[in-house]
């Protein structure tokens, strides 16, 4: 079971109060996890990545196991600890502003 931690605004939008747990088949990549996340919570489509191109929104970052996967592309494998459910994939709203 993959765990995803969402920023507060997206938890409120999706009406979830805690980590989201997902079944993901095949290689555990950021793209595969986001595909499963958007199937489970369709309201998140367009809020993390573009509807059509699946390009990550500029102020969204993906962290896992103290590594930044934001620029690694959708096919980048996530760490085994994420695949095993011991560590979450964190979807983070970048700190911007004052």
Partner 1 sequence: MSGVRVLVGTRKGAFVLTADGQRRDWTITGPHFGGWEIFHMKGSPADPNRIYASQSSGWFGQVLQRSDDGGATWNPVGNQFTYAGTPGTHQWYDGTPHPWEFKRVWHLEPSRTDADTVYAGVEDAALFRSTDGGATWQELAGLREHSTGARWQPGAGGMCLHTILLDPVHPQRLFVAISAAGAFRSEDGGVSWTPINRGLRSQYIPDPDAEVGHCVHRLAQHAARPDVLFMQKHWDVMRSDDGGNQWREISGNLPSDFGFVIDVHAHQPDTVYVIPIKSDSEHYPPDGQLRVYRSRSGGDDWEPLTRGLPQKDCYVNVLRDAMAVDALEDCGIYFGTTGGQVYVSPDGGDSWRAIAQTLPPVVSVEVQTLP
Interface with partner 1 (CB under 8 A), residue from 7, 31, 74, 79: 7
- 59 lines the binding site for partner 1 (CB under 8 A): yes
Q: Pick the closest to residue 1 from 91, 82, 90, 92 (CA basis).
A: 82
- Residue 6 tokens read as 């969402």
Instruction: Tell me the window of 18-26, 54-62, 64-72, 76-84 that interacts with partner 1 (CB under 8 A).
Output: 54-62
- 31 lines the binding site for partner 1 (CB under 8 A): no
Classify 85 as helix, strand or coil.
Answer: coil
Least distance between partner 1 and beta carbon 48 (Å) = 7
CA atoms within 13 A on the CB side of 90: 12
């Amino acid at each position: 079971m993959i765990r995803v931690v969402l920023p507060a605004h997206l938890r409120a939008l999706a009406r979830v109060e805690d980590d989201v747990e997902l079944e993901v088949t095949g290689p555990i990549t950021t793209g595969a996890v986001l595909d499963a996340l958007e199937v489970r919570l369709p309201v998140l489509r367009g809020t993390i990545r573009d509807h059509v191109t699946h390009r990550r929104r500029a102020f969204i970052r993906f962290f896992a196991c103290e590594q930044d996967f934001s620029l690694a592309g959708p096919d980048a494998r996530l760490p085994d600890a994420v695949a095993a459910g011991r560590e979450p994939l964190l979807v983070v709203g970048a700190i911007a502003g004052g």
